[in-house]
Amino acid sequence: DAGITQSPRHKVTETGTPVTLRCHQTENHRYMYWYRQDPGHGLRLIHYSYGVKDTDKGEVSDGYSVSRSKTEDFLLTLESATSSQTSVYFCAISDPTDPRANTEAFFGQGTRLTVV
Amino acid sequence: QKEVEQNSGPLSVPEGAIASLNCTYSDRGSQSFFWYRQYSGKSPELIMSIYSNGDKEDGRFTAQLNKASQYVSLLIRDSQPSDSATYLCAVNPIYQKVTFGIGTKLQVIP
């Protein structure tokens, strides 16, 4: 299995509180991603990173911020959690040899977040 | 119109039969296509990637791509109960930003 660890694996938090999810990789892959997965919507990209301090938005980035200060760590922060952010969050990594192409992504185990 | 369309299923097939999973996409510029398998409560894992028109076979799995019709399919031969999972079609319309379909749930009946 690719060396990707998400923490925490489960979290319950209250509306309005900030929450940070961590993704740690040991593969030295350049690209890291945060997705959320919801019934009826599938996997949707929140943010991704293509290098240290280099990040970009995905299709559902509102209410989320990210940071990548080291190659191995990619943090996802919910600035003020809402019930609509209750979801399963997956981190993924990839390492394309050609930035114009795409290679397979390897996924972490997921974090189940419940906002009450 | 969603960028990647899949029927959510469930698709039920008897053990030993061929399961056919289908996916259409909207962006004609897409270059890379993937099939992921996701067991309930687990993370997605890649089972096939395809980049050019035609068929690509790997064991019991065959991926088919038709860019003119914007259509990708996955065939699973000799389906086994262990193949029961949700199969996610993924496409990259813009490099490094992969878009997933909602997934098709496959049930293989013993």
Checking if the pLDDT of A109 tops 70, the result is: yes
Low-confidence ranges of chain B (pLDDT < 50): none
- Rounded to the nearest angstrom, the minimum Cα separation between B73 and chain A is 17
| CB-based burial label for A66 (10 Å; 0-12, 13-18, 19+) | buried
The pLDDT tens digits for A61-70 are 999 999 999 9
Q: Is the dihedral of CA B42, B43, B46, B52 positive or negative?
A: positive
Mark out chain A residues that contact chain B at CB-CB < 8 A.
31, 35, 40-45, 48, 50, 58-59, 90, 94, 96, 99-110
Asked whether the beta carbons of residue A45 and residue B99 sit closer than 8 angstroms, the reply is yes
Closest CB to B97 among A45, A104, A107: A45
